[in-house]
Structure 1
Amino acid sequence: MNANPSDWLFDLGNTRLKCAPLVDGRCGEVIALAHGEAGFVEKLDALLPQRGGVAHLASVAPQALTVDLLDRLATRFARIDIARTQASCAGVRIAYADPSKLGVDRFLALLAAHAHGDAALVVGVGTAVTIDLIDANGQHHGGRIAPSPSLMREALHARAAVLPIAGGIRIPFAADTTDALASGCEGAVLALIADSLAAARERLGIAPALLLHGGGADALQSALPHSLSTPSLVLQGLACWARLEVEPA
């Protein structure tokens, strides 16, 4: 199948918009824009085709931000396709009794993870940390949600302004406050991932692949040497969704 090169993929999160052209049914080169920064609108306008085919959108951002993006996309694309979580899709079966309660970003990441073929623990590090387990047969076993290290730092700073909101390095025992914050907040998430891996191994009888994605994943990867960096996992899953939307039943 040759997809229309004017079709695009959009992943709108709480901090960034990630987008890519859909090329031959797959995710093309990914561009990330921080929608809270100056010049976001101008950068997005320069990026988009003057007249595109289909804009495939996944959003977990606030409604007002999503509507603003939809309005902008509507001026450039003939059609907008909004991805939504389904109980069963592309061989993946969601564990939630009410699939609509599972964030579409987690759902799409599971579609992409399953396409890899092996059992996987999928860890997204954005505003929140999301952890989902999927077996090789496509069964989702549920997941966990926690604050990301950056959100922990923001929450601590909000309650105690003397605690710096950023900076520091992760070390076993820090000798200053900034390093202690980095070590504690990142260490909390690393411990959660380690516990989830152990629980996944016990449930499945094998060690799943560890897939990391999201804007905060790079900061943790050095402590997870066996993990796989999959920064475009949600967009890859959205490309899977797009193929299902255009292929005949």
Structure 2
Amino acid sequence: MTQWVFDLGNSRVKCAALHADGTLGHVQAVAYDEGLVASLDAVLPPAMAREASAAVVASVASPARTAAVIDWLTTRVGAISLPRTQPALAGVRIAYDEPARLGVDRFLALLAARRRAARNWLVVGVGTAVTVDLLDAQGLHRGGRIAPSPQLMRESLQAAAGQLPATGGHYVEFATDTLDALASGCDGAALGLVERSLLQAEDTLGERPALLLHGGGAAGLMPWLPGAALVPSLVLEGLAVWAQLGSDA
């Protein structure tokens, strides 16, 4: 029997089979659109669904999008689990006074980072928002930051000033046209947040943490963050940790 893990973001559903040894199968991504159910059927057709015992679902999507995926899953698997942020799990202790207020995607990313190595990590997710979380080598979450992603900045600027396109341009240090200036300013804002967080983390911990990037927009920042590791499936990896330990914690 195969278990599946689902990461419901704001723009896409990512999912993979979870093997008995805790490793993930091929990660697939499906956009929220009118063809959502058909796309999900292609990922987990009825023949495969009969072999699936359960699904573990983490969602930061809207209630409507979450409900659509959950409704579809109820016809495919026997049991559905929805992880929630816990004060402590798998060697990670959350800094928030009210841990439940930490987004489950951030919590799962921290679990995955800790599973990768017991070291100092700066975990950065780039999706609709940029999230930054510091995890020390003892597994203590030191807190984090949230900001708009470069894409959301572009869309917000266009909404306020229609003459400013939401796409196009390239990052350069000092742009000589509007498209490049927009790309450079919005990407640069995210890069500045990450770089300052690295500096402050080094002051806090006494050494520079390893940088771990995930999320749909993370690859676009990689060329300007030397030494960073890109792990697009980090939240799914965290779901694998939770699936093994969370239900018994």
Cα deviations by residue, 1:74-118 (Å, 9 ceiling, x for unpaired): 100000011110000111000001111100000000000011221
- Residue of structure 2 equivalent to 1:50: 49
- Structure 1: give runs of 5+ residues left out of the alignment: none
- 1:48-197 matches, within 5 Å, as 48=44, 49-51=48-50, 52-117=52-117, 118-197=119-198
Cα deviations by residue, 1:6-55 (Å, 9 ceiling, x for unpaired): 2100000000100000012222210011113x432211112113322110
- Residue of structure 2 equivalent to 1:40: 36
Cα deviations by residue, 1:106-147 (Å, 9 ceiling, x for unpaired): 000000001122110000000000000001110000000000
CA contact (8 A) 2:37 2:72 kept: no
- Structure 2: give runs of 5+ residues left out of the alignment: none
Distance 1:124 1:238 in 2: 15
Distance 1:191 1:140 in 2: 22
- The TM-score with structure 2 as length reference comes to 0.95
Distance 1:45 1:155 in 2: 34
Change (3 A) 1:110 1:245: closer
**Two-structure CA RMSD over aligned residues (Å):** 1.2
- Residue of structure 1 equivalent to 2:13: 17
For 2:49, the aligned partner's letter is: Q
- The TM-score with structure 1 as length reference comes to 0.95
Distance 1:198 1:166 in 2: 30
- Residue of structure 2 equivalent to 1:228: 229
Distance 1:210 1:45 in 2: 36
For 2:209, the aligned partner's letter is: P
Is residue 208 of structure 2 the alignment partner of residue 207 of structure 1?
yes
Distance 1:219 1:164 in 2: 18
In the alignment of these two chains, the number of paired residues is 243
- Residue of structure 1 equivalent to 2:28: 31
Select between 127-136 and 19-28 the one with higher mean Cα deviation.
19-28
Runs of 4+ in 1 over 2 A off after TM superposition: none
Distance 2:243 2:140 in 1: 21
Distance 1:219 1:47 in 2: 27
- Residue of structure 2 equivalent to 1:8: 4
Distance 2:66 2:37 in 1: 14
For 1:104, the aligned partner's letter is: V
